Amino acid sequence: MTRNPKAPSQLVQEVALLLERVRTERPLVHNITNWVVTSIVANVTLAIGASPVMAHAHEEVADMARLARALALNIGTLTPYTVESMILAGKAANAAGIPVILDPVGYGATPLRVGATRRILDTVKVDILRGNLAEMAGIAGMTSDIKGVDSVGAEAPGQSVALSVAKDLKLVAVVTGPTDYISDGDRLLCVENGHPLLTRVTGTGCAATAIIGAFAAVERDYVIAAASALACYGIAAEIAADHSDGPGTFAAAFMDGLHNLRPEDVAERARLSVTRV
Amino acid sequence: MTRNPKAPSQLVQEVALLLERVRTERPLVHNITNWVVTSIVANVTLAIGASPVMAHAHEEVADMARLARALALNIGTLTPYTVESMILAGKAANAAGIPVILDPVGYGATPLRVGATRRILDTVKVDILRGNLAEMAGIAGMTSDIKGVDSVGAEAPGQSVALSVAKDLKLVAVVTGPTDYISDGDRLLCVENGHPLLTRVTGTGCAATAIIGAFAAVERDYVIAAASALACYGIAAEIAADHSDGPGTFAAAFMDGLHNLRPEDVAERARLSVTRV
Amino acid sequence: MTRNPKAPSQLVQEVALLLERVRTERPLVHNITNWVVTSIVANVTLAIGASPVMAHAHEEVADMARLARALALNIGTLTPYTVESMILAGKAANAAGIPVILDPVGYGATPLRVGATRRILDTVKVDILRGNLAEMAGIAGMTSDIKGVDSVGAEAPGQSVALSVAKDLKLVAVVTGPTDYISDGDRLLCVENGHPLLTRVTGTGCAATAIIGAFAAVERDYVIAAASALACYGIAAEIAADHSDGPGTFAAAFMDGLHNLRPEDVAERARLSVTRV
């Protein structure tokens, strides 16, 4: 396994191109997310230049998913009703050929979350699965120590978890943390952009899932789409941290940072690396 | 049809007076809104000087509506349960004689939204209907091209849609956009205040609906109430845009702008015009 | 009844120690709260240094409560479903021996809220009850004049209401307002920190409840825990007010203020006083 610590310049160019494509095409991203993060998820989606919609009624989720170009699911405050909403929307998304992204918030914390995640994975073709290390390690069947919805460590490091989940479930696995790992079971990309203040604002993980959806809407290579989304996200956070005094002003500056992100920022700051297996 | 491009000075004085009345009377506005925008709706209502309350349980919506001085309904993340909540509250509001404002978010996007809007309009006397051009054109029965919950154009321009909806449904129709059009089917008012950053913050349309509710609580001429609310809203956005670097800092500055809005700001900046039919 | 207008220096030291303990232990606080304030409740909990989780599905609330170190309940947008969630979680919290904090939002506004509050108090051992003066006076059986969810006055002043509720219900009663009163029926503490802008941001009362939960997780003397939480909360608000131009920038600065709060700030600014009965 060789690791190239330098961001391949071609990859960085692709990130900037995809950002531009998101802004030009303004893809509609249908979110079924938890009730804590609805606002930040929608605002991050708008700030990066895409268009959010939320709908969860069984009577319309499939209709709405068919209007969208990506579907982002999040089990943060799941109920049996909303899990069913996710499955109905997921099946419609599959039929329409749009990407489905799942965020298994708090996987392992309760049997309900384990069962819901498995049921969604069994009945919907999930294209991208994004979680923190503890959640993704749990899904990989590795020992993990879950505390609520925060990642507090797991035996395996992020890259082996990403590879393992991607291979087992035949999807693109995204393990986010100080370094993000993205894998389709073959390729493994690392993104080292970001800032610790992201962990002090609720919903930044969930919003990362939505923004991955926006990039997946415009780029069918989901490894590249997810890495590009996370690089842009992390760079905006770095810029925001320079203009903030704590998590409150950071949250506002982060929206500004996403909105104002320029190709030059991406070129200067992207810290992407590719590891082949 | 003659159009007076100058804001009649009497109308501008009335806007400032109504703003003062909202702040003095602090009317309670009962919102049944979507789960994405609850926080911004409540904060905008507080910032302008009114008092928000949210309640949707069937067991109490009628009781809460009777305590309020306006009822603002929003179908953004509707379910059959919340539509029923809106109808129960709407009937109580009608019986109590307080204004009912409806925001048909995403009308036309799905059959559920079309059916819910029609059912509410059929069973509740809605006093003011506020939507973007695509939603309102859809309601007017005109061809429209809906994409999720964002307005992306319609054949007819805002003023004819506002007139048509107002006449057909016998209510005050408000079509918001770069220019807002308010009509009771006879009078037509235009408000040209606002800022494009409003479109980059989620819930600003829904919050405009709530603020129209606050003004309608203190002024029974709903054309004047809605126009006044939108002028204040737009002026606060203009002031906020001068103090922000993007949608995040704008959202914070916008709350400040509403809170600090002075009669002088209204007098200097209001861009209202009256078109008689 | 004697009143010591000076903050006992020992008490102020304890506040600073508890703040440090919250940050070191990062207790998980399980919130079942209303859908208007989820985001600010989570962000305030993160900003003070604790860890929030939200879950309300009947299938997992008990599991989640058992993982947490405090349970904060809030009836702001209650439905029969969420009241049942609160009872299931509350019983699990009682069995696990973790503190339960209840926020009876809008008590007295509707029969549903009165009944739900009573049912929770009858079936769950609530350790701390926090409300505004009108809500708490209503619970004390005193005449009160409720307007939606805002406190608009009551016959009895805060300290007698706090004492009365604490004695009647055998719990720690917290009446928040310009001065906060905390009592276990024997001791009575007053906290005079805070800023009027707190009343212009939605959810600041609900978030105070969550932060009391964070302090109660690390200090079993709930009178001390609640007073410490409210002193820190109020001091952060005072600091934030110095860096803001209105409710929007205040809300952001308040998160920064909680995150950056230092023991020196507590020592310099805490306005605590103890009144023995």
DSSP string covering A104-116, please? -TTBTTBHHHHHH
Residues on chain B touching A63 (C-beta within 8 angstroms): 109-112
Residues on chain B touching A259 (C-beta within 8 angstroms): 200, 246-248
ipTM: 0.92
Which band of pLDDT confidence, cut at 50, 70 and 90, is reported for residue C5?
very low
Confidence check: pLDDT of A17 > 80: yes
The whole-number pLDDT of residue C156 equals: 52
The whole-number pLDDT of residue C157 equals: 84
Q: What angle do CA B96, B99, B102 make, to 5 degrees?
A: 125
Residues on chain A touching C253 (C-beta within 8 angstroms): 245, 248-249
Q: What pTM does this model have?
A: 0.94
Residues on chain B touching C78 (C-beta within 8 angstroms): 57
The whole-number pLDDT of residue C144 equals: 53
The whole-number pLDDT of residue B9 equals: 83
* CB-based contact B247 A35, cutoff 8 Å: no
Residue ranges of E strands in A57-147: 70-74, 100-103, 128-132
Strands B187-191 and B180-183: antiparallel
Contacts of A222 (CB under 8 A, 6+ apart): A99, A127, A128, A172, A184, A216
The whole-number pLDDT of residue A141 equals: 86
Which band of pLDDT confidence, cut at 50, 70 and 90, is reported for residue A147?
low
Report CA-CA distances (Å) from C271 to C176, C184, C185, C275: 14, 19, 21, 13
Helix, strand, coil percentages, rounded to 5, for chain C: 50, 20, 30
The tens digit of pLDDT for each residue in A77-91 reads 999 999 999 999 999
Query: Which of B39, B203, B245 lies at the smallest CB-CB distance from A256?
Result: B245
* CB-based contact A54 B37, cutoff 8 Å: no
Confidence check: pLDDT of A5 > 50: no
Residues on chain A touching C51 (C-beta within 8 angstroms): 147-148, 150
**Bridge partners of residue B188, in order along the sequence:** B183, B275
Residues on chain C touching B30 (C-beta within 8 angstroms): 148
The structure tokens listed for A272 are 């992407």
The tens digit of pLDDT for each residue in C253-264 reads 999 999 999 999
Quick one: closest CA in B to C80, which residue? B57
Query: Which of C113, C149, C248 lies at the smallest CB-CB distance from B60?
Result: C113
Quick one: closest CA in A to B105, which residue? A53
End-to-end CA distance of chain C: 5
Mean pLDDT, to the nearest integer, of C80-91? 98
* CB-based contact A55 B77, cutoff 8 Å: yes
Is the separation of the CB atoms in A53 and C59 below 8 Å? no
Mean pLDDT, to the nearest integer, of A157-182? 95
- B146 three-state secondary structure: coil
**Measured distance CA(B258)–CA(B247) in Å, rounded:** 16
Å from A43 to nearest chain C CA?
13
Residues on chain A touching C37 (C-beta within 8 angstroms): none
Q: Could you tell me how many CB contacts below 8 A there are between chain A and chain C?
A: 104
**Measured distance CA(C174)–CA(C192) in Å, rounded:** 13
Quick one: closest CA in A to C42, which residue? A202
The whole-number pLDDT of residue A146 equals: 52
**What residues does each domain of chain C span?**
2-276
Higher per-residue pLDDT: C11 or A4: C11
Å from B27 to nearest chain C CA?
10
The whole-number pLDDT of residue A144 equals: 53
> Which residue is listed with tokens 């926080």?
B39
**Count H helices, E strands: chain B?**
11, 10
Mean pLDDT, to the nearest integer, of A51-74? 98
Q: Which fold has domain A2-276?
A: UDP-N-acetylmuramoyl-L-alanine:D-glutamate ligase (3.40.1190)
The tens digit of pLDDT for each residue in B47-88 reads 999 999 999 999 999 999 999 999 999 999 999 999 999 999
- What number of other Cβ atoms are within 10 A of residue C173's Cβ? 29
Quick one: closest CA in A to C254, which residue? A248
Mean pLDDT, to the nearest integer, of C50-57? 97
* CB-based contact B39 A39, cutoff 8 Å: yes
Higher per-residue pLDDT: A205 or A8: A205
Mean pLDDT, to the nearest integer, of A176-191? 96
Interface test with chain A among C29, C30, C33, C54, by most A beta carbons within 10 Å: C54
Query: Which of B35, B57, B252 lies at the smallest CB-CB distance from C248?
Result: B252
Chain B residues 113-132 with a CB less than 8 Å from chain A: 113
Is the separation of the CB atoms in B72 and B213 below 8 Å? yes
Confidence check: pLDDT of C76 > 90: yes
* CB-based contact A251 B248, cutoff 8 Å: yes
Residues on chain C touching B53 (C-beta within 8 angstroms): 106, 109, 148-149
Which band of pLDDT confidence, cut at 50, 70 and 90, is reported for residue B157?
confident
Confidence check: pLDDT of B262 > 80: yes
The whole-number pLDDT of residue B257 equals: 98
Per mean pLDDT, which range of B12-21, B30-39, B153-162 is the poorest? B153-162
- Tell me, yes or no, if B53 comes closer than 8 A to chain A by beta carbon: no
- Tell me, yes or no, if C143 comes closer than 8 A to chain A by beta carbon: no
- C129 three-state secondary structure: strand
Q: What is the mean pLDDT of chain A?
A: 93
Confidence check: pLDDT of A23 > 70: yes
Confidence check: pLDDT of C265 > 60: yes
The tens digit of pLDDT for each residue in C115-142 reads 999 999 999 999 999 999 999 999 998 6
Handedness of CA B74, B237, B7, B216 (dihedral sign): positive
* CB-based contact B64 C147, cutoff 8 Å: no
Å from C262 to nearest chain A CA?
13
The structure tokens listed for A160 are 């082996």
Handedness of CA A168, A170, A176, A181 (dihedral sign): positive
Q: What is the mean pLDDT of chain B?
A: 93
The whole-number pLDDT of residue C1 equals: 37
- Tell me, yes or no, if C196 comes closer than 8 A to chain B by beta carbon: no
Mean pLDDT, to the nearest integer, of C237-262? 98
Helix, strand, coil percentages, rounded to 5, for chain A: 50, 20, 30
Which band of pLDDT confidence, cut at 50, 70 and 90, is reported for residue A150?
low
Quick one: closest CA in B to C200, which residue? B46
The whole-number pLDDT of residue A145 equals: 53
* CB-based contact A251 C256, cutoff 8 Å: no
Residues on chain B touching A57 (C-beta within 8 angstroms): 77-80, 112
Mean pLDDT, to the nearest integer, of B121-129? 98
Query: Which of B39, B110, B247 lies at the smallest CB-CB distance from A64?
Result: B110
Query: Which of C39, C57, C68 lies at the smallest CB-CB distance from A40?
Result: C39
Contacts of A85 (CB under 8 A, 6+ apart): A32, A56, A57, A58, A61
Residues on chain C touching B256 (C-beta within 8 angstroms): 244-249
Burial B48-57 (b: 16+ CB within 10 A, else e): bbbbbbbbbb
Query: Which of C35, C147, C247 lies at the smallest CB-CB distance from B38?
Result: C35
Mean pLDDT, to the nearest integer, of B138-160? 66
Which band of pLDDT confidence, cut at 50, 70 and 90, is reported for residue B5?
very low
Burial C252-270 (b: 16+ CB within 10 A, else e): bbbbbbbbebeeebbeebb
Is the separation of the CB atoms in C191 and C182 below 8 Å? yes
Which band of pLDDT confidence, cut at 50, 70 and 90, is reported for residue A9?
confident
Q: A77, A126, A85: which is closest to A102 by C-alpha?
A: A126
HSE (side-chain half, CA atoms, 13 Å) at C144: 28
Residues on chain B touching C111 (C-beta within 8 angstroms): 59-60, 63
Residues on chain B touching A38 (C-beta within 8 angstroms): 35-36
Q: Which chains form contacts with chain B, at 3 or more CB pairs under 8 Å?
A: A, C
